[in-house]
């Protein structure tokens, strides 16, 4: 699937702007700065098809990418702290929640968790929203390259412990580094199974 062409389709700021729900879709959600856009770049093998930056709140629209002819990859604005004006942040948070609870072709939401920090209260809020909307979600731990030896099992245990309470959680975790490439092939293979 990832051997085919990848293109930026559009950035959306309102539900009315969403493309037709005519392809399988997966999205990448997570706190601001967790590494959503970087992960899309790593998965697609394109350095900057999604705009990444060190400023939390970089992605402010719902960005759609076409993957071959069968899938959409969706880069979402972050939740939690963002370096942007409050009314703007509130508007994109509202849109994010509407999207996550109302997209019929959404096959799975990947919820990204910074491997150094584990699951926070804001992550659980989003997970509860996904539970109530019956959207299967899977946690992807990011920035694994920043972990010290011995910290891996600790964060994996914390995440596993929290996911038990979430009926929509897919139990398999993926530990990734967009910087070093760890876990990227695994995640590509998972997306390819979601038809
Ligand atoms: P928003 O769009 O603001 O919500 O952020 P985002 O989740 O899209 O994060 P983004 O991909 O823009 O990355 C945020 C910062 O983390 C950037 O400085 C990236 O270079 C860095 N980063 C992302 N992935 C990794 C990784 O695997 N390892 C390391 N060390 N840094 C990473
Ligand atoms: Mg982003």
Mean pLDDT of 34-61: 95
Evaluate: CB of 89 within 6 angstroms of ligand 1.
no
pLDDT of residue 137: 98
pLDDT of residue 149: 86
Residue 71's DSSP bridge partners are 24, 67
Which residue's CA is minimally distant from atom 23 of ligand 1? Answer: 35
39 Cα–ligand 1 center, Å: 8
pLDDT of residue 141: 98
Taking only the tens place, the pLDDT of each residue in 129-181 is: 999 999 999 999 999 999 998 999 999 999 999 999 999 999 999 999 999 99
pLDDT of residue 12: 96
Residue 121's DSSP bridge partners are none
Taking only the tens place, the pLDDT of each residue in 17-32 is: 999 999 999 999 999 9
Residue 87 class from Cβ within 10 Å (0-12 exposed, 13-18 middle, 19+ buried)?
exposed
Evaluate: CB of 53 within 6 angstroms of ligand 1.
yes
Q: What is d(CA 178, CA 145) in angstroms, rounded to the nearest whole number?
A: 9
Evaluate: CB of 145 within 6 angstroms of ligand 1.
yes
CATH number of 6-193: 3.40.50.300
ipTM: 0.99
Confidence bin at 116 (pLDDT 50/70/90): very high
- Number of H-type helices and E-type strands within the chain: 5, 7
Give the up-direction half-sphere exposure of residue 144: CA atoms within 13 A in the CB hemisphere. Answer: 20
The domain limits of the chain are 6-193
Residue 11's DSSP bridge partners are 63
Residue 12's DSSP bridge partners are 62
Q: What is d(CA 2, CA 165) in angstroms, rounded to the nearest whole number?
A: 33
């Amino acid at each position: 699937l990832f051997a085919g062409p990848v293109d930026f389709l559009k950035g959306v700021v309102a539900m009315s702007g969403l493309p037709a729900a005519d392809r399988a879709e997966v999205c990448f959600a997570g706190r601001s700065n967790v590494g959503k856009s970087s992960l899309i770049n790593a998965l697609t093998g394109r350095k900057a098809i999604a705009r990444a930056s060190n400023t939390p709140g970089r992605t402010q629209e719902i960005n759609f990418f076409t993957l071959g002819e069968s899938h959409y990859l969706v880069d979402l604005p972050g939740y939690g702290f963002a370096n942007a004006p409050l009314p703007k942040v509130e508007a994109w948070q509202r849109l994010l929640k509407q999207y996550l609870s109302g997209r019929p072709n959404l096959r799975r939401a990947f919820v990204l968790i910074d491997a150094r920090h584990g699951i926070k209260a804001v992550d659980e809020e989003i997970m509860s929203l996904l539970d109530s909307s019956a959207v299967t979600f899977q946690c992807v731990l990011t920035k694994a390259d920043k972990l010290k030896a011995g910290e891996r099992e600790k964060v994996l245990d914390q995440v596993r412990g929290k996911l038990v309470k979430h009926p929509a959680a897919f139990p398999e975790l993926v530990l990734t580094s967009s910087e070093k490439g760890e876990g990227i092939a695994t995640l590509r293979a998972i997306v390819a199974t979601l038809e």
